Structure 1
Amino acid sequence: MRHDCHYHPGEPAKWHCGECQMHYCSRCMPDANHRRQHALCPQCNRVMRYLGAATEAVPFWNRIGAFFRYPFHTDPMLVIAICTLVPLLITGNIVGLIVSLVLVLALLKYTYAVIRHTAEGHMKPPPLAVAFTGSGFDIVILQLLVFILMGALVGAAGMLGGPVLMLVMLALVVLALPASVMVLAMEHSVAAAVNPLNLAVLISRIGSRYFLLYGYLILLSVASGAAQEFAFNHFAPHLANILAGFLNSTFTLMLFHMLGYLLFQYQEELGFASDHQDQEKPGESQGRDRTRRFDADIDMNLKDGNYDRVESMLKESLKREPANACRLQQLHSLLTARDDRQELYRYHPRLLAMLADSNDGDTMAGLLATIESIQPGFKPDDPELTLRCAKVLYNRGQFKPALKLLQDFHKRFPGSECLPHAYLTMAQALANGLGQWEKATAFLSFVKKRCANHPLHEQIDVYLQQARNREPLKGPRASFNVE
């Protein structure tokens, strides 16, 4: 059953808190450990139940193309090539027979590993070593025992009830065979794989989709048989054997991958949880980003209407990191939305510096107007900050706010090194922005008179000439000539 996140409707939930009865998605739980399936509820701090990726898994009928591509990855292709070609290269003696038998076991072991690997959330095939190393070869013997028991069951039905009952039992066994294979791959138990109750529960929990899967499996089997028959009818026997072995192995891997994906898709109904393992980078679970947890807490508190709580969280964070641009931006947005002008005034030095760093002149003009409403005639106390803000406002076309900031700059900050650049910016705002060439000329003349020792002094004549000609004040042109 699909559950949506409480805070992000439309996002599939991956965690559920039984105490709060809340569902959370990955965005709400950036610090959760998906590999260990462990997370604490942000509300009550209790351990939550992991729902896995079933809620966001694509239905298997929409992944038909991926199923057909699955055997053509490097590892499964190597397994198929080894198990198909090696027996043909060995002469028909006892050694060749033993090698062929071992390779058949390896191929079958790999196909059953595909089911479990896919059910655990790995959409990429298992590595080549899985087929030839380690334990797991017993799965083939277990599957043979399952077939023997199912055959015995069909035979017993024929002996007790005649051909009709035998046909009915055979139909039921064939119908339950995919479910039996899935149970055996996951539990490695013959008793579980032939238990009618287990198989009935599995089929009932998957529902009508099981029969849709069954139809796909029949089509795959028919396609595999037709392709092999075509190979034997149109190619030489030696080449036909190679093609038939390749096709049989390929279609088997497709079939088993599809069975594993069905388990992955209906994991919640079947009582386990797994996630897309191939998407997480190694070591990611050890390097959780605390800032993402903080952002998630802010997001949830905002949606719950806990604005005071969010404000206090941001202020505490800014005590630890006074220049954190992200937190300053969040605080500015919150205070602006709440129209908290006193707090905006209190934090204005850091907010203005943040907006200057991001060249956000339009937002800066709005902040200055808000502060002006409670502090008429407001101007920053820092000459460098004042000049930075004025330049940002000028570059964004906010000429009048820029002129307000720079007004009486020489009186407020006498002897400041920023004075020439401040009045040059003022002259540019007057001339280029408002077309007031006479006032711009007056400020440029003031800089020429008062700042004779400043490096900018040498360029003032060029600006003055541009002002007399009523040209945009852009200063001297760049030159790459070397004397």
Structure 2
Amino acid sequence: LFKYTYAVINRTAEGHLKPPPVSEAFSGSGFNIVILQLLVFVLMGALVTAAAMLGGSILMMLAIAFVVLGLPASIMVLAMERSVGAAVNPLNLAVLISRIGTPYFLLYGYLILLTLASGAAQDFAVTHFPLWVAQPLAGFLNSTFTLILFHMLGYLLFQYQEELGFASDIQDDDDLAGRQHRDRSSRLDADLDMNIKDGNYDRAQAILKDALKKDRNDPRRLEQLYLLLTARNDVSELYRYHPRLMAWLAGRNDGDALNELIRSLQTLEPNFQVDDAELALSCATALYHRQHFKPALRLLQDFHKRFPDSAQLAPAYLLAAQVLANGLQQWEKASAFVTYVQKRCHGHPAHQHIDVWLEQVNNREPLKGPKASFEIAE
């Protein structure tokens, strides 16, 4: 476990957020770190014992406080330098703590909470389960919390690598790629700005369309294209890009803009409908929350005919019921949609709560579905 935790702290300190393969814990090399860590613990224990012998309980408590405060720093120093002397040198620990500053003490407090949580979880396991279950479960919990602790320490090293005087392997490449991406993005923005100021709207539109060929769902470019096409009232291009634009607006929960976009599309196609079940539901949800009830219902119209095999049928018709009941006060129609879900959507998870919906609609109460319950079944 200690061997793997040090593999975790080193990997995280290099900027990798995915854990190393478990096989590293069982490989033949690298076990010296375990011996070094045990030596650190022995020396720290010796320090506390010597303090107790020389100065009594008060000096012993001060030594314990210093050891506990410096333990995370000691682990980080040992991970970086692989030296017991460096890991127990008070000067090294003080320098590391001072360079990190206040965040070290915040992390220290969080680690104390983490340790208490680990102890509470293990105590719960020992208290409530048979011994043959409790022992491996407590060991698993202890190992999990230990890995979390070392991962956090590794991330602190990665975050403060400049202050601590080292550079992660991945950082330079990431910075270079990030700078290149920002440079390209800045140049594109400058090109767009220049063409729009000069009135070259066709050129600006072509730039955005080309950018969206490289990244279909870039939210910044979708926003710029939407604003440009709306300002130009270019309904044909809005229609061409409407699936991506509607998905972007629904992701922002911008029901007002969705309503305006749908109105524009209806000037080109009066019977406009969305051809994707998930997109229709997400757009209808955004419209409902902005109180555009009739456009929301229009997107959900004949949902069972347009998408007969869709897993979104039950949530779509329950949303339609909410629109009718909560928005338009049409309780009979709302009841019809809830009843349809009751009869036709037996396999959907929402079906188990359908009685709550029916009770609400029959009592002409706002349709909110079931309340959350935190009761544990006996």
Instruction: Select 2:238's aligned residue among 308, 330, 344.
Output: 344
Residue 377 of structure 1 aligns to a residue in which SS? coil
Match of 2:279 in 1: 385
**TM superposition shift of 1:289:** 2.5
> Structure 1, residues 384-422: CA drift from partner, whole Å, max 9, x if none?
111111111111111111000000000111121100000
Q: Which residue of 2 aligns with 1:476?
A: 370
Counterpart of 1:291? Answer: 185
Q: Is 1:309 matched up with 2:203?
A: yes
Residue correspondence of structure 1 range 88-167 to structure 2 within 5 A: none
Cα distance in 2, alignment partners of residues 456 and 285 from structure 1: 47
Q: Distance in 2 between matches of 1:457 and 1:285?
A: 50
Q: CA deviation at 1:285?
A: 8.3
What is the CA deviation profile of residues 128-160 of structure 1, one whole-angstrom value per residue up to 9, with x for unaligned ones? xxxxxxxxxxxxxxxxxxxxxxxxxxxxxxxxx
Change (3 A) 1:286 1:363: closer
Partner of 1:433: 327
Task: Tell me the secondary structure at the aligned position of residue 289 of structure 1.
Answer: helix
After superposition, the Cα gap between the structure-2 partners of 1:321 and 1:286, relative to the gap in structure 1 and judged at 3 Å, is: closer
Please state whether the residue corresponding to 1:359 is helix, strand or coil: coil
1:229-240 matches, cutoff 5 A: none
Equivalent residue number for residue 106 of structure 1: none
2:194 equivalent in structure 1: 300
Residues 1:318 and 2:221 are matched in the alignment:
no
Aligned to 1:400: 294
Q: CA deviation at 1:373?
A: 1.1
Q: How many angstroms does 1:326 deviate by?
A: 0.7
AA partner of residue 351 (structure 1): L
- Paired with 2:190 and 2:181, the residues of 1 have a C-alpha distance of 17
* Per-residue CA distance 1:340-371 (angstroms, 9 max, x = gap): 11111011111111111111110001101110
Report the secondary structure of 2:347's partner residue: coil
Report the CA distance shift for 1:425/1:293 in structure 2 as closer, same or farther (over 3 A).
Answer: same
Q: Which residue of 1 aligns with 2:29?
A: none
Residue in 2 that maps onto 1:330: 224
Once superposed, which parts of structure 1, at least 4 consecutive aligned residues long, lie more than 3 Å away?
A: 284-288
353, 356, 361: which is aligned to 2:247?
353
Runs (5+) with no aligned partner, structure 1: 1-280
CA distance in 2, matches of 1:368, 1:337: 15
CA RMSD for the aligned pairs?
A: 2.0
Structure 1's 361 and 322: CA in aligned 2 closer, same or farther, altered over 3 A? same
- The separation in 1 between residues aligned to 2:297 and 2:181, in whole angstroms, is 48
From 465, 470, 480, the equivalent of 2:359 is 465
CA shift for structure 1 position 307: 0.4
Q: Secondary structure at the match of 2:295?
A: helix
Cα shift readout 1:282-328 (whole Å, capped 9, x = no counterpart): xx988852211211211121111110110000000001111111111
In 1, distance between residues paired with 2:191 and 2:211?
13
- Tell me the distance in 2 between the aligned counterparts of 1:317 and 1:365: 26
Deviation string, structure 1 residues 226-285 (Cα, Å, up to 9, x no partner): xxxxxxxxxxxxxxxxxxxxxxxxxxxxxxxxxxxxxxxxxxxxxxxxxxxxxxx9xx98
Cα distance in structure 1, aligned partners of 2:279 and 2:180: 41
The alignment of Structure 1 onto Structure 2 pairs a total of residues equal to: 203
CA distance in 2 between counterparts of 1:474 and 1:314 reads 42
Pair 466,293 (structure 1): closer, same or farther in 2 beyond 3 Å? same
- Tell me the residue number matched to 1:452: 346
Residues 38-59 of structure 1 show CA distances to partners (whole Å, capped at 9, x for unaligned) of xxxxxxxxxxxxxxxxxxxxxx
Equivalent residue letter for 1:316? D
CA distance in structure 2 between the partners assigned to 1:287 and 1:326 by the alignment: 13
1:180-329 aligned within 5 A? 289-329=183-223
Cα distance in 2, alignment partners of residues 285 and 475 from structure 1: 48
Query: For residues 413-441 of structure 1, what are the alpha-carbon distances to aligned partners after superposition, in whole Å with 9 as ceiling and x for unaligned?
Result: 11211000000000000000111111000
For 2:319 and 2:351, locate their aligned partners in 1 and report how far apart those are by CA, in whole Å: 14
Provide the secondary structure at the position in 1 that maps to 2:271: coil
Alpha-carbon distance in structure 2 between the residues aligned to 1:331 and 1:287? 20
